[in-house]
Amino acid sequence: MTMDDNKLTFDKITSDLTHHIRINKGFLVWMGFLTVSLVACLYAYSLQLRTGLGVAGIRDYVTWGLYLANFVFFVAASLIGMLISAVLGLAGMKWITPLTRIAETIAVSFAAVAGLVIVSDMGRPERLAYVFIYGRPQSPILWDVTVIITYFALSLLLLYLPMIADMAILHRKGALPSWLKGTYKCLSLNFTDTPAQNRIINRSIRMLLILLVPMALSIHTVTSWLFAVTSRAGWDSSIFGPYFVSGAFVAGSAAVIIAMFFFRKNYKLQDYITDLHFDNMGKVLVTVSLVYLYFNINEFLVPGYKLQRADAIHLTELFSGKDACMFWIVQIGGLVLPILLLFFRPFRKPLPILVISIAVLIAAWFKRYLIVIPTQEHPFLPIQHVPQNFVVYTPTLVETMITIGPFILVLIIITLISKFFPVIPLHETAVEKGVEDV
Amino acid sequence: MCFKKQFFLLLIFAAALGFRVTAQTWVVPDDQKAVTAPAKFTPAMQKQGEQVYTKNCQSCHGLPGKDNWVKLVPPPGDLAKEKAQKQTDGEIFYRITTGKVPMPEFRNIIPEDDRWNVIAYLRTFNPKYVQPEPSAKTAFTGRIVTLAMQYSEPVKKIVVTAHEKLKDNDKAPAAGIEVMLYVKRFFGNMQVGDMKTTNAKGEAFFEFPADLPGNSAGNVDITAQVNDPKNQMKATPAAATLAIGVPTSRPGLTETRAWWSTRGKAPIWLLLTYTLSVLIVWGFIVYIVVSVMKIRKLSQG
């Protein structure tokens, strides 16, 4: 630790971790910007609602376009909550404490919005309920809907439970507007730090963490099955589950690092989120990236060695054809290079690792594009007697805006959560540092 | 509604675009254009034609006169409209017979008579239509063959017998006729054995496989056909249902519980796994929420 723990008092921790909870100009400007952007995207969606999915570039052959790529990306990003809180947490790693809430916030917001992303791909969104009413238990689509809702509920609880004690502190300490204090009081459930209360919270959190592991694995495995249970080239793969899960950890770790960087800078949390955290997250990122690289090698080398007919067409387009440029930038720039760089400590310093993480995250999005779209451009039967725009998928402007919308929504949710709640668990930090509330 | 209009404009635009890309003219040879129907169209023919149309054409061309054809590329169009109606009967007949992607070739799907009946039906939508003189039938000079079939228990073979009609209306065994035997399967006819040529007695013998599954009573539907690729004969095929298959009662693929069946026919183990998993996980979630609610009661001071 860079700071002298002895000097810490409970009041100092409280003020350090909660001073950002106030409505300032920067917040209003940022939220204003997000709201205006969101309205623009909603306008694009209203066009789609009125005119139909024809406003998007998706046609008979490529029916899953940006929306589905985006959906896979969102589900992927939400998985990080499980890696940080559950896997590292249950393994007893103490350094993750200041990062758990960031990870959970990312998980909750991406999981919540993932559901909306899929609705944007529906021609008749008002029939959403039919998925449940008429869903076939045999279909991975029903499983996916089920596990995403469940994962969202678990993540929300896991975000909330450690916050109960913080709410109580905030309610008592902060010089805040009364409506905000009222909200904190209500959310704190009158928590008074009694052993019985703490027992309930700790036990519940533990249960959640244990449930979270299989649920998180399920959501991304089932999402991968949406593709892998069909026999099409590029999707017909038995390692799609772990391939997706490991890819999700890569995207999620990068997202957490980016969020860490901005929270630390904007909310002045340098004493809590230290270089050591970036260094450790860098090691996490390089580890999951290596696993992902391993699955990538399997996913491309094995069919690439055999080059069966349909695979050959698909892989040739990826390796040296129409999609080659995007493919190699994503694979090298978003996976191989980051791994090589992150092996070295200087690159795990906050600024370099921020840049690397942004590259990784952008590449992760385009990787989803490469997983979803090219396969559909190479059906088993030749494409004939259709207009040119059926043959090659080109996203439209409206479609792009509808795709950007969910990102803005995620940013809004993350901003609101981080603005009105401590980004770093307050009570837990105090307990770990051994300073008790007096 | 505005939404509909825009949508259709878009579709038409897409279709037009496609037409430009794939437009190849569909030319009918002149001699085919001149072909006329074999008989005067009658109300009975029109009625029969309507049925054929409903079954084979409506799915793409829509209801005649209603312009509700399916938006394919190239567009099928409404056959009651000018573009189709200004063509000769021979032209339409040729198109139905030969087809052109995506329109199927109906040569072997709709018998010749019915192809003319469809035209008879379509012409009812054209008040200006006057039927040209039916083509005078030239006397048929080829062989007129009728097949019959039976199973011969002693030799364990299917015997197909060919007879032909002679000039004086007598019947005689037809030798040298090439015959093929088919058994009906799930997706169509499967040929049994090789093609055989009838002997001097007009007979051809087909060995029938002993392990071919029939229905629960062992029945199989068998047809015998004359091989006449150049259409030089008038041949009547023979059909029979014979109890020579292996009795099999296997439920249809969609009758049992399976991955691919409907919701009501999901595999039990899957239903159990799904329901149990949901119940267990949500049971925990509810339990957690309920116990967290207790925190309120446990507060002090």
DSSP state of B132: P
Residue B10 reports pLDDT greater than 70: no
How far, in Å, CA of A75 to CA of A217, rounded?
Answer: 11
The whole-number average pLDDT for the span A374-385 is 89
Lowest mean pLDDT segment, chosen from A225-239, A331-345, B139-153 = B139-153
Chain A interface disruption, residue of B73, B260, B281, most A CBs within 10 A? B281
pLDDT at A372: 96
A contact residues 104-143, partner B, Cβ 8 Å cutoff: 134-138, 143
- To the nearest whole Å, the CA of B256 is away from the closest chain A CA by 14
Residue B96 reports pLDDT greater than 60: yes
**Chain B residues within 8 angstroms (CB to CB) of chain A:** 2-3, 6-7, 10-11, 14-15, 17-18, 21-22, 73-74, 101-102, 259-263, 266-267, 270-271, 274, 278, 281-282, 284-285, 287-289, 291-296, 298-301
Give me the interface pTM, i.e. the ipTM: 0.91
Residues of B in Cβ contact (< 8 Å) with A148: none
Say which of A136, A194, A215 has its CB closest to residue B298: A194
The 10s digit of each residue's pLDDT in B73-90 is 888 999 999 999 999 999
pLDDT at B174: 93
Instruction: With CB atoms and an 8 Å threshold, state whether A385 touches B22.
Output: yes
The whole-number average pLDDT for the span A159-166 is 94
> How many Å is the maximal CA-CA distance in chain A?
78
CA angle A396, A397, A401 (to 5 degrees): 120
Domains identified in chain A, total number = 1
Q: Under a CB-based contact definition with an 8 Å cutoff, are residues A360 and A333 in contact?
A: no
pLDDT at B18: 46
Q: Give residue for tokens 């694009």.
A: A44
How many CA atoms are closer than 13 Å to the CA of B120, on its beta-carbon side?
23
Q: Which residue from B268, B205, B266, B59 is spatially nearest to A135, judged by alpha carbons? A: B266
Instruction: Quote the domain boundaries for residue A404.
Output: 5-433
pLDDT at B6: 56
Residues of B in Cβ contact (< 8 Å) with A130: none
pLDDT at B299: 82
DSSP state of B125: T
Specify the DSSP element, H or E, that contains B298: none
Token reading at A422 = 């401590």
Averaged pLDDT of chain A: 92
pLDDT at B253: 81
Instruction: With CB atoms and an 8 Å threshold, state whether A51 touches B278.
Output: no
The whole-number average pLDDT for the span A222-247 is 95
How far, in Å, CA of A243 to CA of A335, rounded?
Answer: 14
Residue B4 reports pLDDT greater than 60: no
Q: Which residue of A has its CA nearest to B274?
A: A137
Q: Which residue has the higher pLDDT, A373 or A388?
A: A373
pLDDT at A7: 62
User: What pLDDT band is residue B138 in, cutting at 50, 70 and 90?
Assistant: low
DSSP state of B156: T
CATH code for the domain of A417: 1.20.1630.10
Instruction: With CB atoms and an 8 Å threshold, state whether A54 touches B15.
Output: no
Check CB contact of A157 with chain B, cutoff 8 Å: yes
Q: Which residue from B112, B168, B109 is spatially nearest to B135, judged by alpha carbons? A: B112
pLDDT at B137: 64
Q: Which residue has the higher pLDDT, B105 or B278?
A: B278
User: What pLDDT band is residue A257 in, cutting at 50, 70 and 90?
Assistant: very high
How far, in Å, CA of A197 to CA of A203, rounded?
Answer: 10
Residue A224 reports pLDDT greater than 80: yes
Phi-psi domain of A387 (left: phi exceeds 0; alpha: psi -120 through 50; beta: other)? beta
Whether A438 is covered by a domain: the verdict is no
% pLDDT > 90, chain B: 57
Specify the DSSP element, H or E, that contains B145: strand B144-152
% pLDDT > 70, chain A: 97
Q: Under a CB-based contact definition with an 8 Å cutoff, are residues B223 and B158 in contact?
A: no
Averaged pLDDT of chain B: 87
How far, in Å, CA of B247 to CA of B245, rounded?
Answer: 6
pLDDT at B111: 82
pLDDT at B14: 52
The 10s digit of each residue's pLDDT in B118-133 is 999 999 999 999 999 8
Whether A393 is covered by a domain: the verdict is yes
Q: Under a CB-based contact definition with an 8 Å cutoff, are residues B288 and A208 in contact?
A: yes
Token reading at A239 = 């390692």
The whole-number average pLDDT for the span A299-312 is 93
Say which of A50, A54, A161 has its CB closest to residue B292: A161
Instruction: With CB atoms and an 8 Å threshold, state whether A138 touches B301.
Output: no
The 10s digit of each residue's pLDDT in B56-68 is 999 999 999 999 9
Amino acid at A277: H
